[in-house]
């Protein structure tokens, strides 16, 4: 029975009182992406399991430990998406998006699913904002995508976040690096966790971001990839750094960053906060020039990132970022008696037709209780209708903030008159805030 009123472990409810925070953040992120020419793409919550095994990579934590995979009634293996990139590549290939003018740019806000140990900033259902750009191999693309993240953080008022970048090379230069890593880790093979012992042959780079403390410790002195980069990768990385400097974006090079997914090449980056606990990586991304070819498309360079919205909100709270005030009720129309209640229903409907947020009594409350409710929902104005108002055809519109009263007729001019008052009070609020800014 208790299960009936308890959400599954690792999930989070967003209550009506909190949802405007999410709406604001999501709208800001998608709008910022739009400024950079990224349009929203939507794709299914589940895909064929094979898609993630092939693209995310079968030596990753995500595929080895974290996927929500099940067999559907048609005997297909289905997986709830653990991330968005694989699906965007699949969508682009299925719909021929790469045949249009390149680069192809797309953004998304999606729930993702990973079977992990829940803790602060780590859930089983979480949300990502991400973008993907297909077709450009220029470091301009890397700089643009990183610049987009920076712009999002600036717009949301996030201050305490640091950019770390690295290059993990390409199929040309990586084998040499992997060989060096294999040699390094082989010497301490017995100490590695069982998963990493298996990874040693196939993908020793994965050991660098293993969450086990022992592996983490051993990895500290492992050789770093930067000295193994080929000429092209080196130039690309230098090109990115130059652009970030020109754009005034601060960064540090962290050769430890390899990212958790198999498909990355060349540039990888993370935006990290020191103030939200162990799960400080708010955004991770990078280049994955090999993935589209590997999935059967024409070889196409690509870059993208994903940002965790739960962690983003934690950072916003931590650094005191402001959220816009909630849009409340414009007018509450209270009433006393059946005839007045009918009139209230009619006027409320007319106000809503004109785009106002209006409410009337649904609870058969006393006038006093109705006014208390109007206060509680933060109504900007209120009106009370009773026998007197109906017989005189006039009512009093009360400004709930400064208690000012305006006489209004209860005829066709009512909605217009309310509109005038609301505009007036918006103007006064604006003047107030300008005055405050000037002080």
Binding footprint of ligand ATP on the chain (CB under 6 A) = 83, 114, 116, 121-123, 126, 128, 260-261, 279, 281-284, 306, 308, 310-311
Closest distance to ligand ATP from the beta carbon of 284 (Å): 4
When the beta carbons of 143 and 283 are compared against ligand ATP, the nearer one is: 283
When the beta carbons of 255 and 386 are compared against ligand ATP, the nearer one is: 255
| Nearest Cα residue to 129 out of 34, 58, 259, 266 | 34
Closest distance to ligand ATP from the beta carbon of 216 (Å): 12
When the beta carbons of 306 and 331 are compared against ligand ATP, the nearer one is: 306
The encoded tokens of residue 98 equal 């790469």
Closest distance to ligand ATP from the beta carbon of 330 (Å): 37
Closest distance to ligand ATP from the beta carbon of 227 (Å): 24
When the beta carbons of 121 and 334 are compared against ligand ATP, the nearer one is: 121
Closest distance to ligand ATP from the beta carbon of 16 (Å): 23
Closest distance to ligand ATP from the beta carbon of 38 (Å): 17
Closest distance to ligand ATP from the beta carbon of 112 (Å): 7
Q: Nearest residue to ligand ATP, using CB? A: 308
Q: Are 45 and 86 in contact (CB under 8 A)?
A: no
When the beta carbons of 41 and 282 are compared against ligand ATP, the nearer one is: 282
When the beta carbons of 148 and 329 are compared against ligand ATP, the nearer one is: 148
When the beta carbons of 279 and 399 are compared against ligand ATP, the nearer one is: 279
């Amino acid at each position: 029975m208790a299960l009936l009123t308890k959400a599954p472990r690792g999930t989070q409810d967003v209550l009506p009182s909190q949802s405007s925070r999410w709406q604001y953040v999501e709208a800001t992120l998608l709008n910022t992406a739009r400024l950079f020419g990224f349009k929203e793409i939507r794709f299914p919550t589940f895909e064929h399991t094979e898609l993630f095994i092939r693209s995310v990579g079968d030596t990753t934590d995500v595929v080895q430990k974290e996927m929500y995979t099940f067999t559907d009634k048609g005997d297909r293996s289905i997986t709830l998406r653990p991330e968005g990139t694989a699906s965007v590549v699949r969508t682009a290939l299925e719909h021929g998006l790469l045949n249009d003018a390149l680069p192809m740019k797309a953004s998304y806000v999606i729930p993702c699913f990973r079977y992990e140990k829940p803790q602060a900033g780590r859930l089983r259902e979480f949300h990502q904002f991400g973008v993907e750009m297909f077709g450009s191999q220029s470091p301009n693309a890397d700089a643009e995508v990183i610049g987009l993240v920076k712009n999002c953080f600036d717009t949301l008022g996030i201050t305490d976040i640091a950019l770390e970048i690295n290059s993990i090379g390409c199929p040309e230069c990586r084998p040499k690096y992997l060989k060096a890593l294999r040699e390094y880790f082989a010497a301490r093979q017995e100490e590695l966790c069982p998963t990493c012992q298996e990874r040693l042959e196939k993908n020793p780079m994965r050991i660098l971001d293993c969450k086990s403390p022992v592996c983490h410790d051993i990895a500290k002195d492992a050789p770093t990839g930067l000295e193994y980069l080929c000429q092209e990768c080196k130039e690309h990385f230098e090109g990115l750094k130059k652009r970030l400097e020109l754009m005034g974006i601060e960064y540090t090079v962290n050769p430890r960053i390899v990212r958790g997914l198999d498909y990355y090449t060349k540039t990888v980056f993370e935006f990290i906060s020191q103030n939200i606990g162990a799960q400080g990586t708010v955004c991770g991304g990078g280049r994955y020039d090999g993935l589209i070819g590997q999935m059967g498309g024409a070889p196409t360079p690509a870059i993208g990132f994903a940002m965790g919205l739960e962690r983003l909100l934690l950072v916003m709270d931590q650094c005191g970022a402001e959220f816009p005030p909630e849009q409340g009720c414009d007018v509450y129309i209270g009433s006393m008696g059946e005839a007045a209640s009918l009139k209230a229903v009619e006027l409320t409907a007319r106000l809503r037709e004109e785009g106002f947020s209006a409410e009337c009594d649904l609870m058969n409350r006393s006038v006093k209780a109705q006014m208390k409710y109007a206060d509680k929902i933060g109504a900007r104005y209120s009106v009370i209708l009773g026998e007197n108002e109906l017989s005189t055809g006039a009512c009093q519109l009360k400004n709930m903030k400064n208690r000012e009263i305006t006489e209004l007729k209860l005829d066709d001019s009512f909605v217009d008159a309310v509109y005038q008052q609301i505009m007036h009070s918006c103007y006064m609020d604006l003047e107030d805030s300008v005055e405050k800014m000037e002080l």
